[in-house]
Structure 1
């Protein structure tokens, strides 16, 4: 037995003991069988199992087969330890007799400010990491959790008892435990919005609007306590204020709905920082759209300067005019491109053909030719053609979303970058309905573009 195996086994062996009811509950989830005819009855198991499937007993009845694998988990806690234990139960039948075996598969332990992970493979070897339940599945794919009201016990008994939280998912335990000091500190000074941002990051919006835990630590909290104390201020608001001051400006109320602190460095130097904020708020400017506008100008060799270009009175009209000019520019440039190089890029890009799918009446198509992007941009009057190089080089992913019964008619355009939807637009950059967003998120899952939670 290797040293790593021995160490991991010792850690697994000292796990908390599940209650007897847990084991009874596990067996109650397992299906059993009964065969019978006029002369004979075969009952597969005398254990107190769950649903019984009754079948007619004949000469051709199959009485020997592998039945099913079940995965059950339980969350246990004491005053100094939290554990998530997972077990695999396998059921098979031999000549009508049911045999059920089980073993520990994964163990997560939170103790002494450490997060320990232990997995056991089918040979009984232990390792310092978790095992997926199925090929291409996750550590908890198919797991059923024992309903022992573990959230309430965490609130009353565990090291998390000093935190204020409602019902949580099992995968959120890791984050609450890791940042328990920071969360408790924020709650004690009544900075509940900040505390919630630490506890429940929104992975759909990416890191730009979430708390940067590389910055937020005990020392940072102590230093900036007065800014957050007894307030509903967010981390983004704090960083916005700080970085705006570096640009000799101040935070204009409401700007946090339009800008993140990462955006400040992209605001052109030729415009007053306070004036820019007021312009953004007044015209409801989406900053990504504004950056696209600047990018198009620069690619056409136009250096944006002066208020007429940097903060136009009618940004929508200016943006649409620029899109029209840019699409013409791209088409002319396309004609001068090296055809061989373009064909090579398109051939390499065919590797993504498996991403084309139809879901709930919408067809998702990943363009494979430059001409497709230009056509999409012209029909929907937006600047998707400016993403041609990045799309074909794999720096970003452009996806056409259309009605499945009208697959040739442009409808919505989707951009995916680093496993997240960063833009989703209709004609003239109009917003996309919520139900279509839901379908797009389902497409993300099916194409396995959704990143694992940190």
Structure 2
């Protein structure tokens, strides 16, 4: 009869971190110093150059005995047969002005070929299966400090069951330790994808971050589809490229719908934009025109809508495939806007009084409000995107647009920010390119500050 392995068995037999791991962790806690004219008490012999020093006046009522808040530290343990991700909870205890530390294993993730992936956590009754969060509304690694560097992780994994993976590529593109469960589980498929240059497929298997305003999550590919058999069948498509499963589906849909596909079309037209294809033009010709002129599906839909609003039939090659699409798009938007401008201007002027209160500089970026609807259209022309067509929605309060500029060059368009109902809708640069992470970080802070003003946006 096979012996049942208890959670405490894994915890008691886990690998032991080196002493320098605990010394490293202790450096995150402050050194306390109490002083008066005649006496001085220091809580630690640790070097003050690498630790925070908290100085206090020594009096009769000085509190010299207390517990600090817990902190969490993560160590990666690796042998040839197993991998362990150990999280330790540490308390700093000050008693009569002298410190001591209490370390205990809090969470353990255990990986091996024999048992797969095991999760262990500490509870009041002892150790049990599962993982515990590190605080209210936090995850299992939120706020924890990781001991291992990129170099040490690569070195450790070179002696493990993951030694055949290109860990250098993984560690430079993913949070390897946070996504270790996926990497371990699908190590065979990842190894095959790496050796055949399927960089996009590796990204789908391991997962990539996607952002929703303040929040972010990891998006994974469908492993029911991404099997060895599937990848071998479509090896020629994915090999030595960044192509992902969505690219294959897109190409297959285009061929099944229109009998052809032009490389790069997916960068401009989404699947839901295929209903915009004009019937009087051959699909392959229209696709080539889209790619050559870099026509975004959103802009083309907006252009078609404005043409129809002007009571002009959306037919004829000069209309459906203008030689200068951006100019034709802007002309149609301007013509339609001229009809409704007078009403919009009065509506926007009422909103502008409140919106001007939001203008501010955060970090290296200045956030400005378009003072007129004409400024909005100019922004769209300079950054080559369709924000100029948002005038009606902005005037009526359906959404709000802010100009994001470098604080040292406030007159030069950089990024355009759309916010509505306490959320960031989008943050785009030239040709609708996504803004970098630092701009996103400042935009989130801007959103927080604007929320405090109680202004409708």
Question: 1:99, 1:437 → 2: CA distance?
Answer: 44
Question: 1:122, 1:358 → 2: CA distance?
Answer: 49
- Give SS of 2:62's match: coil
| Partner residue, 2:73 | 72
Contact 1:105–1:131 (CA<8 Å) still a contact in 2? no
Contact 2:106–2:121 (CA<8 Å) still a contact in 1? yes
Q: 1:187–1:150: structure 2 CA closer, same or farther, 3 Å change rule?
A: closer
Q: Does 1:225 align with 2:225?
A: no
Contact 2:32–2:43 (CA<8 Å) still a contact in 1? yes
Extract unaligned runs of 5+ from structure 2: 381-387, 449-457
Q: Does 1:182 align with 2:189?
A: yes
TM-score normalised by L of structure 2? 0.68
Q: Does 1:173 align with 2:176?
A: no
- Give SS of 1:197's match: helix
Q: 1:317 aligns with which of 327, 342, 354?
A: 327
Q: 1:362 aligns with which of 365, 369, 376?
A: 365
Summarize the alignment of residues 38-117 of structure 1 with structure 2, pairs less than 5 Å apart: 42-45=41-44, 51=51, 53=53, 58-59=58-59, 62-64=62-64, 65-67=66-68, 69-79=70-80, 81-110=82-111
Summarize the alignment of residues 323-402 of structure 1 with structure 2, pairs less than 5 Å apart: 323-329=333-339, 331=341, 358-364=361-367, 374=373, 377-378=376-377, 380=379, 382-385=388-391, 387-388=393-394, 392=398, 398-401=401-404
Query: 1:221: how far off?
Result: 1.9
| Partner residue, 1:340 | none
Query: 1:321: how far off?
Result: 0.7
| Partner residue, 1:268 | 277
| Partner residue, 2:164 | 162
| Partner residue, 2:17 | 19
Question: 1:302, 1:88 → 2: CA distance?
Answer: 69
Contact 1:162–1:184 (CA<8 Å) still a contact in 2? yes
Q: 1:155–1:308: structure 2 CA closer, same or farther, 3 Å change rule?
A: farther
Q: 1:191 aligns with which of 189, 194, 197?
A: 197
Question: 2:312, 2:9 → 1: CA distance?
Answer: 64
Contact 2:11–2:120 (CA<8 Å) still a contact in 1? no
Question: 2:273, 2:80 → 1: CA distance?
Answer: 45
**Deviation by residue 1:124-182 (Cα, 9 ceiling, x = unmatched):** 8968454144x565543442212371333224313x33322316132232442344343
TM-score normalised by L of structure 1? 0.69
**Deviation by residue 1:78-108 (Cα, 9 ceiling, x = unmatched):** 4554332222222242331324233344444
| Partner residue, 2:262 | 252
| Partner residue, 1:441 | 440
Contact 2:33–2:43 (CA<8 Å) still a contact in 1? yes
Query: 1:251: how far off?
Result: 3.1
- Give SS of 2:260's match: coil
Contact 2:193–2:202 (CA<8 Å) still a contact in 1? no
Question: 1:41, 1:13 → 2: CA distance?
Answer: 42
Question: 1:353, 1:90 → 2: CA distance?
Answer: 48
Query: 1:245: how far off?
Result: 1.0
Query: 1:183: how far off?
Result: 1.8
| Partner residue, 2:304 | 294
Query: 1:313: how far off?
Result: 0.7
Q: 1:130–1:309: structure 2 CA closer, same or farther, 3 Å change rule?
A: farther
Contact 1:412–1:432 (CA<8 Å) still a contact in 2? no
Question: 2:359, 2:88 → 1: CA distance?
Answer: 37
Contact 1:376–1:384 (CA<8 Å) still a contact in 2? no
Question: 2:58, 2:272 → 1: CA distance?
Answer: 73
Extract unaligned runs of 5+ from structure 1: 1-6, 338-342, 450-454
| Partner residue, 2:146 | 145
| Partner residue, 2:248 | 238
| Partner residue, 1:32 | 31
Question: 2:402, 2:30 → 1: CA distance?
Answer: 44
Contact 1:72–1:146 (CA<8 Å) still a contact in 2? yes
Question: 1:355, 1:76 → 2: CA distance?
Answer: 50
